[in-house]
Amino acid sequence: MKEKDKRVLVGMSGGIDSSAVCIMLQEQGYEVVGVTMRTWDIPSHFSTPGQSQPDEVLEAQALAARLGIEHHVADVRKEFKEVIVKYFIDEYMSGRTPNPCVMCNPLFKERILCEWADRTDCAWIATGHYCQLKDINGARYIVTGDDSTKDQSYFLWKLPQDILKRMMFPLGGMTKTEVRAYLASKGFEAKAKGGESMEICFIDKDYREFLKEHCPDIDERIGAGWFVDSKGLKLGQHKGFAYYTIGQRKGLEIALGKPAYVLKINPAKNTVMLGDADQLKAEYMLVEQVNVICMEELLRCKELSVRIRYRSRPIPCQVALLDNGQLLVKFEGEASAITPGQSAVFYEGNRVLGGGFIAFQQAIKKIAAENQEKFNR
């Protein structure tokens, strides 16, 4: 390898996974450069009074010093607020349920890693994601990690080819248990026993409290609205559509004499439709803002499945491309709680073909009836 080809930038969070990546790549002969992003400060990130840097930065710096690797801190709090936090708030204020990790990886973290890789003359970028890569016909595909309980391929469907072709996922062929054992065997017993990080790094408690804190006029802008049934009949008042998500059962604060679930959210009318669990089931789904490596491959795939939320099981399906660029998904297994704003990620076996965002499902039955001939089987 040429000198630059030996340099790899590792996104270091100070946690178990990125620490293992650094050690592993060093052992493989790479010159490791670490960068830790300071994205958002919350009290739980600071262990001692007067601490100037969050725990993850201090832990990453300590590991870098111990391994003798170059380390940088990227203070990107301003950009993170303007891009990811704004997206998160805007989605809820539009009646959708966001998945900030899906947006953060391509739009933010990997973009910044690319910038730092160029700045530090690194050919490669490595992270601790539990997924793998496979090259087919000149394209690079994401493949699920061997540890199905930790697989993170769902979050990465928006990554473009130019970034994927610089990426390394050294942990993709390992289980979390194996990673912990590896760290311990290298003399990092305390690190190996560390806890897991939060799924949404910038929210300490409940997202509703976060919305109120960062949108102090939310109750004035949205205000109370009506719970309705599937026929549009009013059932009682709610606090505002932004505080609810599809499939939600707890915290509705309405007594109907039987369990009720959020079926639909209409931000234009500020109504939240309630019903029973059976009414959450769906035969079809609309997906927008689609990003796939090869549309023709997706449309003709005979063993296609889709995941509609993180850690959900893949559901066998067919897809049809509509004239407006949306995908119409026909489920061939049971699907429930189709949630606008969440990601729909398409797989052929363990290979990610692409994904999109779940759209509002208005007129879905009519659209499905008009497009039956477009399905490939």
Q: Which residues are documented as binding site for ATP?
A: 11-18, 37, 128
Q: Read off the tokens for 337.
A: 């709680």
CB 168 within 8 A of CB 8: yes
The binding site consists of 11-18, 37, 128
CA distances from 148 to 168, 174, 220, 377 (A): 19, 10, 44, 30
Distance between CA 134 and CA 172 in Å, rounded?
A: 12
Phi first, then psi: give them for residue 158, nearest 5 degrees: -90, -5
How many other C-beta atoms are found inside a 10 Å radius of the C-beta of residue 13?
A: 19
Active-site option among 122, 201, 301, 317:
201
CB 285 within 8 A of CB 341: no
Is residue 201 flagged as an active site residue? yes
Give DSSP secondary structure letters for 128-171: --SEEEEEETTEEEEEE-S-TTT--GGGGTT--HHHHTTEE-TT
How does DSSP classify residue 106?
Answer: I
Is residue 101 flagged as an active site residue? no
CB 203 within 8 A of CB 163: no
Active-site option among 22, 101, 104, 122:
104
Which residues 6+ apart lie within 8 Å of 227 measured at CB?
A: 234, 235, 236, 237, 238, 252, 254, 271, 272, 273, 274
Residue found under tokens 């891009």: 83
In the chain, alpha helices (H): 16-27, 55-67, 77-80, 86-93, 100-104, 110-119, 161-164, 176-185, 189-192, 207-214, 218-221, 295-300, 364-370
CB 7 within 8 A of CB 123: yes
Name residue 244's amino acid.
Y
Phi first, then psi: give them for residue 336, nearest 5 degrees: -145, 150
Distance between CA 215 and CA 223 in Å, rounded?
A: 13
How many other C-beta atoms are found inside a 10 Å radius of the C-beta of residue 255?
A: 9
CA 155 from chain centre, in angstroms, equals 4
Q: Where in the sequence numbering do the catalytic residues fall?
A: 104, 201
